A and B are shown apart, each in its own frame.
Chain A
Amino acid sequence: MVMSINRPTSLEEALQILADNPEMEILGGGTDFMVEVNYGHRRPVSILSLSRIAELRDFEVSGSELYLGSGITFSKLVAPPLAELVPGLAQAARTVGSPQIRNAGTIGGNLATASPAGDTLPILLALDARVEISSLNSVRSLRINEFITGPKQTVLQPQELITGIRVPLHDSSQEFLKVGTRNAMVISVATVALVIDWDSYRVGCGLGSVGPGPMEALEAERWLAAKIDWGNRRIPLEESALRSFSELVARAARPIDDHRSTAEYRRHAVAVCARRALERASHAYE
């Protein structure tokens, strides 16, 4: 019963090891991985640990883009300067687990686990972020909903590693609301992320825990983009607009009944949160 662990100190080394040993299981912050080990759902024989690769924990602003290393922890996202650059992502990261979990868990891990309830996924989707995936000889970049193909399923290949996330740094309003049945440390029952991008006249609306992966409320996005007075930065706030938007968002949800909630409540919750997100985005400019 031998288990080996490899702890490379550079990305290049990690990708080489992975190219030679595609069966290796990748250990990031361990906050999902170790739970699976403890419950016997994962019995790793050979592990590639990312903990010593400093470059995966770096971030960089270049022009209108923020590059986040995949090893950046939730705690780092919650604090300045990142919290000021992407406040919606900071808000989502703050809802992850406990302080201990946020100190260990990483944004790359949240993507790799690809849980329908992954807290940062809806806001990354709404921000139009792209996942950067590297192997020894290639780099590719995908939107969140191209990367995640189903519950806990991604397009990640055995020799590939999530190396970073590219987030457009635009002048935008960002809201994130999470509903859970406990006030902290809770798996979400429903989440709504809303981004109104004043630079590119784009609306992003991502939903969590109401489908097999993070859901993009496309119709709601299009409808709202058409209603916003972009020049005057005016968000429609009349009752009929709030109702239409929240109904369109709810329609994008494909929730199920499970032990955490019911489909009916989840659909209702995203509708309520969508309306509140819109109101908050508007209030931010008052």
Chain B
Amino acid sequence: MTATEVMTTTIETGTNRQELTTPTIGANILRPDAVDKTEGRFAFSSDLWAESMLWGKILRSPHPHARIVSIDTTKALNMPGVKAVLTWDDIPGNHFFGLEKKDQPVFAHDVVRYVGEPIAAVAATHPEIARQAAEAIEVSYDPLPAFLDPEEIAPADPTVDSTRRSRRDSEQDIFRHISIRHGNLDVQGEVQVEGSYEVGMQDQAFMGPESGLAIPASDGGVDLYISTQWLHVDRDQIAACLALPPELVRLHLAGVGGAFGAREDITLQIHLCLLALSSGQPVKIVFNRQESFLGHVHRHPARMWYRHHALKDGTLVKVEARIILDGGAYASSSPAVIANAACFAAGPYRVPSAAIDGFAVRTNNPPCGAMRGFGAVQACFGYETQMDKLASALDMDPIELRLKNALRTGDTFVTGQVLQGSIPVAEVIKEAASAPLPPHLLDNPLAMPGGAGRCSDTTKLRRGIGFAVGFKNLLYSEGFDDYSTAKCRLDGDTITVICAAVEVGQGFITLAHQIARDVFDTDKIVFSAGDTNEVGSAGSTSASRQTWMSGGAVQAACNRLRDRLLTMAAEELEVSPHQLYIKNGRIVSSGTSVEIPFEALSVNGPIEEFVEYHHEPTYLLDDNGQGDAHVSFAFAAHKAIVDVDPELGLVRVTHISTAQDVGKVLNPIQLIGQIEGGTMQGVGLATMEELIVENGVVKNPSFTDYLIPTALDAPDIYIASLIEQPEPGAPFGAKGVGEPPAISSVPAVVSAIRQATGAPLTRVPVRPQDIVFSADNKRPTADGVLK
């Protein structure tokens, strides 16, 4: 069923919206998990426990690339308390898994391809025994040369001699090459600006480490309680490796402590199930922080080269770009991430001609995959830095330059897609740009660069203002049918909504309650994620898609149930269903005092409706990167204000104003929470967040050294405007809001630091030494010295 069909099945007068007695769409209703989470009673996946439970531990590769000569598990197996030691040979089914290509081994077999790759797994009666047993497994390696530089395969700068790639088999080592050729490629701009940019490896850095509990079942199957982003796609990958029919692998959602993309890929799921089935006992694994950093995929580091062509009046005529993403050792979602990076490489601007090449390449670095923003983040740092550079070359106001080229509905995108729906690029730019400036400097030393270290000299601080706009596709692209499924059931007076949409903290359950309340005008609503046998796939909690897709599925299932209830009531009352509406959990007949409570309709048992909800179809990009690949887009703009201590190169982001294209606000607090959180993740990438990888080894796999912003690093975030232009086809017209804030916040902050210091800053995160040792940093700026 598509969105359009859902609408036609509803009985038009079914609910009298004016008379709803419970707050619904647009209200800040209390999250069902709020009290438990604040009081520490919410059970996260790491809190699970079962009778006679064993503890699992995974042995990982210390080498970025090596041949495994031998694995001897004898010592580990003979340790008291050890119940299972498993390797490649113990996998009954498919030995490989993966989101897009099944290229990642459950356990490394002949070769290890990155540091941290699983080789074996142990289950024991105590976590310490499991750890010692894992250490007792003797693996003999023959190290191989490691490929660590993605530009060996595809240099970003087109003028760089590509003979560097000679050692590599590029077929094998390119996960995907996207080539976009659009418009007249011979056109040359009167003004051209060129630049090379780099984005470091960001981590999702969620709080709740990977964890789960697998319990073997008497039917030969297994029940897995797991924190993930997509239960059914995990289930299918696990079942294939276990050689079990999918219905014998039941996944139950356990409390998820954040995800941001890192839980899209399988980490410990298959290992857990193998250990449970092999030992015949429940098995739990909780990664420690180091294992978490090694165990999940990261944001792709990027090397980018750009050349923008414009007329003297600022009109963009062509964008050339090359984007190289380091995919690490396995494909994960690299093919989709590079498609995004390439599609969005020219920004939310009218670009009549484009030559864009995107490469996701294989190295022996840690695998990279999904993270909030999914390829759009890296590209945005490139194109927005270029737009600043172009404005400077044209001696034009950077806001004016952006407005002049801003995409509008009906414009043709660089992929040839004609943009439909709401495209409020100019609106977000204007609203964010015109937000009021904060007062100058607060007299609080902790709020200055360096914070608690109190190393800044207030007389030397410089303030800078930066601006950027960005965008991203909503929902999956390129022909992928990421449908969602929901059930809605009346039992007694209670409405139960069942949908496998994973709550990772974003607030989907709250939204499902709001939608059900909107339809049934009752607060007797129960939400269940079910298990994988109870309800079909909801798709991933990714791509800013659950509000639209699972919100749409829940709404459609609720509408169907409502229509059925109205029809049943109409038969009983011998009236037309159009004369009936729902009020306060009862069916009411217009103009009469006749009412039927819900429970009267379910006296003969529960009544249930089911919906599978699909978005409009999309299409693969062709050889020239052309095609209607995307369903919808969302836009955001950020204006950042930073205080910089140029002598020490320290930065404090003091204030960020943002405007975002949201379609419609469904829950204001949750929406603002997404904007603040996403903006902070962007501030983190701009100023400090980076996994440092040397010779394939992550040097900072801990929260001691992988720095994310603290409260003292957090700017005031001012929501300048939420642009509500309903998106056709989306439930309530609402767009997903999770990703856009993490995109333009990055270049906005860096632009502000650039303005304050004059340093070129072509790389994120910006490090103190990048500011201090930049030749230009002594250049005074308009804002100059503070105080």
CB-based contact A182/B769 at 8 Å: no
Kindly specify which of B107-115, B357-365, B416-424, B450-458 makes contact with the partner chain. B450-458
- Cβ contacts under 8 Å, A178 to chain B: 450, 452-455
A183 to B446, CA, bound (A): 8
- Cβ contacts under 8 Å, B49 to chain A: none
Most B CB atoms within 10 A — which of A38, A177, A178, A186?
A186
CB-based contact B455/A276 at 8 Å: yes
Closest-by-CB residue of B relative to A96 is B452
- Cβ contacts under 8 Å, A180 to chain B: 450, 453
Kindly specify which of B246-254, B272-280, B532-540, B698-706 makes contact with the partner chain. B698-706
If over half of B's interface residues share one DSSP class (helix, strand or loop), that class is named, otherwise mixed; here it is loop
Q: Which of B449, B705, B773 contacts A187 (CB 8 A)?
A: B705
Closest-by-CB residue of A relative to B704 is A187
CB-based contact A95/B453 at 8 Å: yes
- Cβ contacts under 8 Å, B773 to chain A: 264-265, 268
CB-based contact B712/A38 at 8 Å: no
CB contacts under 8 Å to A, within B499-539, are: none
A251 to chain B, nearest CB (A): 18
A107 at the interface (CB under 8 A from B): no
Q: Which of B131, B694, B705, B712 contacts A184 (CB 8 A)?
A: B712
Closest-by-CB residue of B relative to A178 is B453
A235 at the interface (CB under 8 A from B): no
| Given A259-B700, A268-B772, residue A185 in contact with residue B710 (CB < 8 A) | yes
Closest-by-CB residue of A relative to B700 is A259
CB-based contact A181/B453 at 8 Å: no
- Cβ contacts under 8 Å, A189 to chain B: 768
CB contacts under 8 Å to B, within A208-264, are: 258-262, 264
Q: Which of B128, B648, B713 contacts A269 (CB 8 A)?
A: B648
Most A CB atoms within 10 A — which of B131, B449, B707?
B707
| Given A187-B704, A262-B769, residue A39 in contact with residue B452 (CB < 8 A) | no
B647 at the interface (CB under 8 A from A): yes
Closest-by-CB residue of B relative to A260 is B705
- Cβ contacts under 8 Å, A268 to chain B: 772-773
B414-452 vs A, Cβ < 8 Å mask (1 yes, 0 no): 000000000000000000000000000000001001111
CB-based contact B768/A181 at 8 Å: yes
| Given A183-B710, A268-B772, residue A259 in contact with residue B705 (CB < 8 A) | yes
A188 to B700, CA, bound (A): 15
B62 at the interface (CB under 8 A from A): no
| Given A179-B450, A259-B700, A259-B705, residue A184 in contact with residue B769 (CB < 8 A) | no
A1 at the interface (CB under 8 A from B): yes
A187 to chain B, nearest CB (A): 6
- Cβ contacts under 8 Å, B288 to chain A: 38-39
Per the CB 8 Å criterion, the residue count for chain B at the interface is 40
A180 to B455, CA, bound (A): 9
A202 at the interface (CB under 8 A from B): no
- Cβ contacts under 8 Å, A279 to chain B: 457
CB-based contact B700/A184 at 8 Å: no
| Given A1-B126, A183-B712, A184-B713, residue A273 in contact with residue B452 (CB < 8 A) | no
- Cβ contacts under 8 Å, A166 to chain B: none
CB-based contact A183/B452 at 8 Å: yes
CB-based contact A265/B126 at 8 Å: no
Q: Which of A40, A176, A183, A259 contacts B451 (CB 8 A)?
A: A183
CB contacts under 8 Å to B, within A168-205, are: 176-189, 191
- Cβ contacts under 8 Å, B455 to chain A: 177-179, 272-273, 276
A145 at the interface (CB under 8 A from B): no
| Given A39-B288, A259-B699, residue A183 in contact with residue B713 (CB < 8 A) | yes
B474 to chain A, nearest CB (A): 33
- Cβ contacts under 8 Å, B454 to chain A: 91, 95, 176-178
B392 at the interface (CB under 8 A from A): no
| Given A264-B773, A272-B647, residue A182 in contact with residue B713 (CB < 8 A) | yes
- Cβ contacts under 8 Å, A259 to chain B: 692, 694, 699-700, 705
Closest-by-CB residue of A relative to B703 is A185
| Given A184-B713, A187-B705, residue A177 in contact with residue B453 (CB < 8 A) | yes
- Cβ contacts under 8 Å, B129 to chain A: 1
| Given A40-B131, A265-B649, residue A182 in contact with residue B290 (CB < 8 A) | no
| Given A39-B290, A265-B769, A276-B457, residue A184 in contact with residue B711 (CB < 8 A) | yes
Most B CB atoms within 10 A — which of A91, A183, A268, A276?
A183
A94 at the interface (CB under 8 A from B): yes
CB-based contact A265/B768 at 8 Å: yes
CB contacts under 8 Å to A, within B29-68, are: none
CB contacts under 8 Å to B, within A115-174, are: none
A283 to B711, CA, bound (A): 30
B785 to chain A, nearest CB (A): 16
Closest-by-CB residue of A relative to B449 is A183
Closest-by-CB residue of A relative to B135 is A40
A36 to chain B, nearest CB (A): 12
Closest-by-CB residue of B relative to A1 is B128
- Cβ contacts under 8 Å, A91 to chain B: 454
| Given A95-B452, A177-B455, A259-B700, residue A183 in contact with residue B652 (CB < 8 A) | yes
Closest-by-CB residue of A relative to B766 is A181
Q: Which of A94, A176, A181, A258 contacts B707 (CB 8 A)?
A: A181
Closest-by-CB residue of B relative to A180 is B453
A82 to chain B, nearest CB (A): 18
B650 at the interface (CB under 8 A from A): yes
CB-based contact B688/A181 at 8 Å: yes
B767 at the interface (CB under 8 A from A): yes
CB contacts under 8 Å to A, within B622-679, are: 647-650, 652
A86 to B17, CA, bound (A): 67
Closest-by-CB residue of A relative to B690 is A259
CB-based contact A182/B652 at 8 Å: no
A187 to B452, CA, bound (A): 12
- Cβ contacts under 8 Å, B704 to chain A: 35, 187
Q: Which of A35, A179, A182, A184 contacts B648 (CB 8 A)?
A: A179
Closest-by-CB residue of A relative to B455 is A177
B709 at the interface (CB under 8 A from A): yes
| Given A179-B648, A264-B769, residue A184 in contact with residue B452 (CB < 8 A) | yes
B212 to chain A, nearest CB (A): 20
A268 to B452, CA, bound (A): 20
Closest-by-CB residue of B relative to A273 is B455
A253 to chain B, nearest CB (A): 15
CB-based contact A261/B712 at 8 Å: no
Closest-by-CB residue of B relative to A40 is B131
CB contacts under 8 Å to A, within B758-787, are: 767-769, 772-773
CB-based contact A186/B707 at 8 Å: yes
A182 to B711, CA, bound (A): 10
B758 to chain A, nearest CB (A): 18
B431 to chain A, nearest CB (A): 29
Q: Which of B450, B694, B772 contacts A265 (CB 8 A)?
A: B772
A210 to chain B, nearest CB (A): 14
B690 to chain A, nearest CB (A): 9
For the complex with contacts A95-B452, A268-B773, 17 further pairs of A-B residues with Cβ separation under 8 Å are: A40-B131, A91-B454, A95-B453, A179-B450, A179-B453, A180-B453, A181-B707, A182-B451, A182-B688, A182-B710, A183-B453, A184-B710, A259-B705, A264-B773, A268-B772, A272-B647, A273-B455
A-B contact pairs, 15 of them (CB 8 A): A1-B126, A1-B129, A178-B455, A179-B455, A179-B650, A181-B650, A181-B688, A183-B450, A183-B453, A183-B713, A186-B453, A191-B453, A265-B649, A265-B768, A273-B455
Chain A residues with a Cβ under 8 A of chain B: 1, 35, 38-40, 91, 94-95, 176-189, 191, 258-262, 264-265, 268-269, 272-273, 276, 279
A-B CB proximity, top 6 nearest: A183-B451, A178-B453, A259-B699, A183-B712, A177-B455, A265-B769
